[in-house]
Amino acid sequence: MKRLTLFLILFSIGFISFAQRGGGATTPSGTEQGEQFRVPATADQNFTADDSEGNSWDLYELLNDGKYVMLDFDYDGWPYCPARVPDLNTAYNTYGCNNHDVVILNLTPDPSNGDASKQYPVLINGAGGGYNHYCTPGVPGSILIAPNKDVINNNIYPTTSEINAAFNSAGISEHDCSTTPTLKAKFSGTPVEIHPGESVTFTDESTQADSPITSWHWTFTGGQPGTFNGQNPPAITYANEGSYKVKLKVGDGSDNDETVKQDYILVSSYCSASATTTDDGYEYISKVKLGTINKTSQSSGYSDFTSESTVINYTPKTATVTIVAAYQSDKLHAWIDWNKDGDFGDANEHVCNGKDASSGSVTFDVVLPTNHAEGETRMRIRLEDSENNGNETPCGENQYGEVEDYTILFPPSGINTLSDNVFAIYPNPSNGVFNIITTSNSNSEITISDVSGKVVYNNNTNLNNVSVDLSDVNKGIYIVKVTNETGVKVERVIIK
């Protein structure tokens, strides 16, 4: 169903293009004045994709290397796309065959593209989401992205004259394909996603011009050591969570070149997770309510909402997650890293296990388990379409849906002592028969509920020692609440 919808959208895009462009027979420059483009103003989303020859391309890596990137979009079967191939080949050859200022990439939604007439790289399979995210309303069409990620032209109809005009106004120089690039600072790091305290190994990949490179100056923001002079730096250790830039400046005695990779090293306690489709037309998490968390949001694949937090204690709190454009096979998951070891794989941590989300709303209860850590921890919520490249784990990608992270605060020690009133439970754990001892002389109400909030015992008493028999209830954690004129206190009781 979704594929059909996508096809219809793409077909419609092509048809609109045809209509707007007078059949594609003339250069359409200026005919779309006032048209609502959905191309983002900046390259706000990376993509990594293979071309039809098996080479890998990474948008941000190209931009971080100081390249302009022209993304050209076409749709096989639409006759005005092949007609533009000669002009794009001319541009590819005129501007240095992707070895100089600008890299020309063709993006297609088709899984295979056997058009051998294209000399420039053809990124297949929708270019890892790049096609849908950056595509112009009219196809064929191209956009030009500057190294600072600004989309400086969102509508180039790919004729030689329009491409030249766009490249000239950006200051992109013509280059002979036969000349090799001059001195160029380049490097890579591995791995680029680590946990706090781990290290990254960096490799110099700079290319020299007519004379050998004689100087290398590295800057590792957030790393230890923070700088290094020389070709081969030691392993760089990152202590704290965050995303960090890396800079390399090289020189050959007469010229220098510098490359900065922004947000290149990602240091996180938790595995990365996201959905690949970020279009608001498909299902996404629009609202999460839990305690003091009340967060509305759009679709974004992954959102770090860890600045949003709530206290979870032994009294169950109900989370409500709202989903826009819910699909019949949508499932909701939530995890809380109760023991704060940086993963979501321990007992009780999968707090919502694939609940049906097709109605657009899911609720689940959260209650503090035994043996929790202190301080604060992470909650991860994932919406997945279980029948279309779903993912029921807390790590990695799913296609349709979204992942959002929040912060859970553990109650400060003593939060249960809301008054001087104290009571004790023994034995605890028990087989269901236990005693509640209070030190109060006044009347007390004793309420016992399960973690879902269902009351299983209620008693008003002025006794200091109450014997309770819950041997016929299910095994598990129950919440004992004692209320009297001096206040309220809550404790857990475990029935084995």
Contact residues for Ca ion, defined by CB under 5 A: 285, 297, 337, 339, 341, 343, 346
For Ca ion, the closer of residues 372 and 489 by Cβ is: 372
Q: Toward Ca ion, which CB reaches closer, 44 or 341?
A: 341
Give the span between the Cα atoms of 50 and 59, in whole angstroms. Answer: 11
Pick 144 or 285: Cβ nearer Ca ion: 285
Residue 404, strand partner residues: 303, 381
Nearer to Ca ion (CB atom), residue 95 or residue 335: 335
Residue 58 or 346: which CB sits closer to Ca ion? 346
Residue nearest to Ca ion (CB): 297
| Shortest Å distance, C-beta 61 to Ca ion | 27
Least spacing, CB of residue 414 vs Ca ion, in Å: 25
Find the shortest distance in angstroms from Cβ 38 to Ca ion.
19
> 380 CB contacts (<8 Å, ≥6 apart)?
270, 273, 334, 335, 336, 344, 394, 403, 404, 405, 406
Smallest distance from the beta carbon of 341 to Ca ion, in angstroms? 4
- Give the count of beta carbons closer than 10 Å to the beta carbon of residue 233: 23
Indicate left, alpha or beta for 96 from its phi (over 0: left) and psi (-120 to 50: alpha): left
In the complex, least distance from residue 239 CB atom to Ca ion, rounded to whole angstroms:
21
58 or 343: whose CB is closer to Ca ion?
A: 343
How is 305-326 classified by DSSP, letter by letter? EEEEEEE--SS-EEEEEEEES-
In contact, 357 and 330? CB cutoff 8 Å: yes
Phi/psi-derived region of residue 489, left when phi > 0, alpha when psi is between -120 and 50, beta in every other case: beta
Least distance CB 82 / Ca ion (angstroms): 39
When the beta carbons of 222 and 360 are compared against Ca ion, the nearer one is: 360
- Residue 218 · residue 261 · CB < 8 Å: no
Name the minimum Å distance from CB 280 to Ca ion.
10
What is the C-alpha separation between 428 and 407, in angstroms, rounded?
30
